[in-house]
Amino acid sequence: MVSGKDFKMKISTIIPYVLNEDLETEFFFSQWEYSNRKICIVKIICDNGIVGWGEAYGPAPVVKESINYIKQNIIGMNPLESDVIWSTLFRRVHDYGRSGVFVSAISAIDIALWDIKGKYHKLPVSTLLGGSYREKIRPYATGLYFSDSKTLTDDLCNEALEYVNEGFKSIKMKVGLNLKDDISNVKAVRNAIGPDIELMIDSNHAYSYDEALKLSKKLEDQDIKWFEEPLSPEFYDQYSDFKSKSLIPVAAGECEYLRYGFQKLLDKNCVDFLQMDICSCGGLTEAKRISALSSTKGVKVIPHTWGSGIAFYTAINFISNLEPIPGRLYKEDAYIEYDRTENKIRENIIKDNIIMKDGYISVNDKPGLGVDVDETYLNEIKI
């Protein structure tokens, strides 16, 4: 019998990096302001020269140290045995890292292992996950953040129209400033983009149950596709009750970790859309398990996607493999979140630009994640 151990391939080196960018224009959302962006990525080198890349979602300098802390447990292991490696890492942090940065650290390593597996087998990660159900994915624009501008409402409308002109058919805007401004801003943006463009709102858990329900009621005639993180992620019972009362569908999951966390969201019927971040929920290995759980409840998966082109193409490979539920001849579009805020790292760290054509992004067919990391640029911006 041939086992994975017969393939003479070993993990030699694991190097996490923090990429740093100071933004030209500060912006903020319901929780804090952004003037700087830091992203943790990881490079794994094998003894046969194959290199894999992964990315974490979370506080980059802390995740980097978490990767450095756990990496010695898997040096010398066979990167093709990614389930075994995942379990080895999880057991090492189980007692104190069942959520948060240690899970993000595991996620980054796991993604890099899938990149290595794809390069070894000369197949895209989507094929290794079980195959691609689609050739193109529909990006939705994430933007419309807050600023100190005195003409914020007009600025938001103009920004939304730019996305429409670029070909986006779906746009997500921030709420969570206060109920009064949120209501008027959402109505103004809906009026500006017209009825044919999808609009989503995201409060980043800014509101109490009563406030969130009030906002939902006030906006229920605005044809909102989903209300993202209306409530704090700990309040599963409130989510469940909110979902039963809100006519606007509910989305959440970017603050949740591992299949055990997502099972709570699903068992309590908290969401209509499940939004795990592959770079923090436990990587591609765990995201696949979470999507299997989600399929048992008929809940749609649209991952939260942030960070660099490595995270973006991780999501492209994963989303292309998401089973269409319900099945039918003319399939619904699969969605990918496409952050449009200032982010030079996103496109510059990979050599091939992300291309949107006629409102869609093609599923790549290159081996691994399909990204070619620009290490000259990496060395310029790493700290």
Stretch that binds Mg ion, among 35-43, 115-123, 199-207, 234-242 (CB under 5 A): 199-207
Tokens 């592959």 belong to 278
DSSP 158-182: HHHHHHHHHT-SEEEEE--S-HHHH
> Closest approach of Cβ 203 to Mg ion, in Å?
9
d(CA 369, CA 97): 27
How many C-beta atoms lie closer than 10 Å to residue 259's C-beta?
20
| Polymer length in residues for the chain | 383
> Closest approach of Cβ 300 to Mg ion, in Å?
16
| Tokens of residue 180, six digits | 């009064």
Closest among 277, 224, 276 to 247, alpha carbons compared: 224
Site for Mg ion, residues 85 to 124, rule: CB under 5 A: none
State which residue, 253 or 368, has the beta carbon closest to Mg ion: 253
State which residue, 78 or 305, has the beta carbon closest to Mg ion: 305
Q: Report helix, strand or coil for 131.
A: coil
> Closest approach of Cβ 360 to Mg ion, in Å?
22
State which residue, 228 or 272, has the beta carbon closest to Mg ion: 228
Helices and strands, counts by H and E, the chain: 13, 13
Helix-, strand-, coil-residue percentages of the chain, each rounded to 5: 40, 20, 40
> Closest approach of Cβ 358 to Mg ion, in Å?
26
| Tokens of residue 158, six digits | 């103009």
Question: Looking at beta carbons, which residue is closest to Mg ion?
Answer: 202
State which residue, 280 or 348, has the beta carbon closest to Mg ion: 280
Question: What does the angle CA 150 – CA 338 – CA 383 come to, to the nearest 5 degrees?
Answer: 85
Site string for Mg ion, 200-239 (x = CB under 5 A): --x-------------------------x-----------
State the chain's maximal CA–CA distance in angstroms: 70
CB under 8 Å to 102, separation ≥6 — which residues? 66, 70, 93, 96
Q: Is 339 in the site for Mg ion (CB under 5 A)?
A: no
Stretch that binds Mg ion, among 40-48, 50-58, 194-202, 215-223 (CB under 5 A): 194-202
> Closest approach of Cβ 189 to Mg ion, in Å?
17
> Closest approach of Cβ 252 to Mg ion, in Å?
8
State which residue, 159 or 202, has the beta carbon closest to Mg ion: 202
d(CA 216, CA 198): 16
d(CA 287, CA 278): 6
**Residues touching Mg ion: how many (CB under 5 A)?**
2
State which residue, 14 or 278, has the beta carbon closest to Mg ion: 278
Catalytic site includes residue 94: no
How many C-beta atoms lie closer than 10 Å to residue 132's C-beta?
21
Q: Give catalytic residues, as residue numbers.
A: 304
Binding site for Mg ion (CB under 5 A): 202, 228
